[in-house]
Structure 1
Amino acid sequence: MARLLSSSDIRSLSRGLGIQPTKKWGQNFVIDANTVRRIAATAGLDEDDVVMEVGPGLGSLTLALIEIARRVIAVEIDPKLALALPTTVAHRAPEEHERLHVIETDAARIRADQLPEPPTALVANLPYNVAVPVVLHALETFPTLDKGLVMVQAEVGDRLTAGPGTKIYGAPSVKMAWYAKARRAGSVSPNVFWPVPNVASGLVAFERHESPEANRKEVFGAVDAAFGQRRKMLRQSLKSWAGSGEAADEILRRAGVEPTRRGESLDITEFIALADAKETL
């Protein structure tokens, strides 16, 4: 069994590597072993899973994941951390360290051909400013991802899991619904991080479902247009996406959506109906 990192271990490793957590990459390292055990357990992993971990940092969560999964593919943007991680895992999990594969790259731009094999699960402690693009990019790029658990800013978690008709419902909510069913899976205390963030954090779990038979580009285009001017009625906010005001009215009519509604009232099926209607013009 791997020896997980304590708070003093994290600080000692950081000093030894000459690393100070940086805001540039949103680095807040988890320093509580109970928290990483909880995340690994909540992710619902089994011994056949290939986990893609984004932002492994010094390896706190990596060590918990490698005990369970068949392989952990750690995607790290910081070159110092990417270089040090295999040594840390080999030292603290000598029986499992060969399951680790580290890739030094930006997770928001990673390609399928960079991975040694297709991942089945995404588990990550994500900086709030890149959480949404990283999750959506992973779901689009790796169709084999059938589940995931990400730790994000609480507000981001609310947006990813929100339903129509709420103030926090927006483009991230709809786009996540295209790929998967997402839910809040708990909260995380700021005190388990170093440095301590000034925002609350939470867990979001998701399970992929079969993607709709529709033009994703057009659906997401409608979503972006509707929420780009979310206070306006759809007949106004969809004009640029549709090509004209007249086209927007006709698309709305064919989709069976009232032109006076606003984007925040539509669910994913209605955005799909809009995209389908545009293609029949």
Structure 2
Amino acid sequence: MTSPVRPLGVGDVRALAAELDLRPTKRLGQNFVHDANTVRRIVRLAEVGADDVVLEVGPGLGSLTLPLLEAARAVVAVEIDPVLADRLPATAAERAPGRDLRVVTADALRIGPGDLPLAPDVLVANLPYNVAVPVVLNLLAALPGLRRGLVMVQSEVAERLAARPGERAYGAPSVKLAWYADARRAGPVPRAVFWPVPGVDSGLVGFTRHDRQDGAGTDDTRGADREDVFAVVDAAFAQRRKSLRAALAGWAGSAPAAEAVLRAAGVDPGARGEALDVAAFTAIAREGRHAPTP
């Protein structure tokens, strides 16, 4: 029988930081959670179960890692800072003995399936604000077994990731996440639970991967590749105040060519990108692949 997990409090976090002579850096987005109720809430909202292998990105000092170890079958923790990565197994052994923790010292932006010792099915992480969107998108692309997740990000980023067509925050990150998964806001996180206290508010975003991705990943005439769809999305939102006819002119070769593709896809050329869902962008990419070269 395993011993109860002992969470980290604010005093423990500061003591560990002092032991490691740690000075949290803005470059790595290091703001460490020290509130036990907050991390337990995250694990609960993520619905982590005893059969899950959890991928945690940026475990830091281990505040979230410990309750994840208590709830999951195993935790794979990816940490870019070698000092933190080296200390984490000892913290887990001291405070969550008998649990299965695998620590990988790596950049989550470059992680592939062959880089992890176990195949995770759940992502739970406190993500640095400056890389949150590319980390989530890279992991969903690289790890097809990742079925769901809950991430803590800057509040503004949370709004963008979970936004729906027509909403103010809707943009390229919203569409790209929707390519893979259904996203939802899962609540705010107060600044006071972090050390050092960040200058921005935080929020939780949950996602569940689609069983089907709107024709994604196929090479035949029925589907559109992810790269093709994302190219359309990037072009549409690079000039988001313009009509799609104008915004996609460079992508299609000319404004008339863009209009022809849009009409073939069943999309109003006068619409803007913020009005389209991921299925519409997929239809545009699909028609664009088969349009005559201008």
Q: Tell me the TM-score normalised to structure 1 length.
A: 0.97
Letter in 2 for 1:278: G
Aligned counterpart, 1:12 = 15
SS at match of 2:110: coil
Query: Aligned match of 1:230 in 212, 225, 240?
Result: 240
Aligned counterpart, 1:21 = 24
- Corresponding position: 1:126 with 2:127: yes
Aligned counterpart, 1:271 = 281
Aligned counterpart, 1:65 = 68
- Corresponding position: 1:156 with 2:194: no
Aligned counterpart, 1:89 = 92
Shift of 1:243: 2.4
SS at match of 1:204: strand
Shift of 1:244: 2.5
Shift of 1:13: 0.4
In structure 2, the gaps of 5 or more residues are 216-223
Letter in 2 for 1:120: D
Once the two structures are superposed, what CA deviation does each residue of 1:90-120 show, in whole Å capped at 9, x if it has no partner?
A: 1111121xx1000111111111111012110
Aligned counterpart, 1:47 = 50
Shift of 1:80: 0.4
Letter in 1 for 2:164: G
SS at match of 1:63: helix
Aligned counterpart, 1:254 = 264
Shift of 1:128: 1.3
Shift of 1:247: 1.9
Letter in 2 for 1:83: D
Shift of 1:189: 0.8
Aligned counterpart, 2:175 = 174
SS at match of 2:51: coil
Aligned 1:76-115 pairs, distance under 5 A: 76-96=79-99, 99-115=100-116
Letter in 2 for 1:113: G
CA distance in structure 1 between the partners assigned to 2:262 and 2:225 by the alignment? 17
CA distance in structure 2 between the partners assigned to 1:279 and 1:231 by the alignment? 25
Letter in 1 for 2:65: T
Shift of 1:256: 1.3
CA distance in structure 2 between the partners assigned to 1:252 and 1:63 by the alignment? 50
Letter in 2 for 1:250: A
Shift of 1:257: 1.1
CA distance in structure 1 between the partners assigned to 2:31 and 2:118 by the alignment? 28
CA distance in structure 1 between the partners assigned to 2:94 and 2:283 by the alignment? 54
Q: Tell me the TM-score normalised to structure 2 length.
A: 0.93
In structure 1, the gaps of 5 or more residues are none
CA distance in structure 2 between the partners assigned to 1:276 and 1:93 by the alignment? 50
Aligned counterpart, 1:139 = 140
CA distance in structure 2 between the partners assigned to 1:129 and 1:69 by the alignment? 28
Query: Aligned match of 2:37 in 28, 34, 38?
Result: 34
Once the two structures are superposed, what CA deviation does each residue of 1:175-197 show, in whole Å capped at 9, x if it has no partner?
A: 11111011011111100000011
Letter in 2 for 1:29: F
Single out whichever of 188-197 and 239-248 deviates more from structure 2.
Answer: 239-248
SS at match of 1:219: helix
Instruction: Give the ranges of 4+ consecutive aligned residues of structure 1 lying more than 6 Å apart after TM superposition.
Output: none
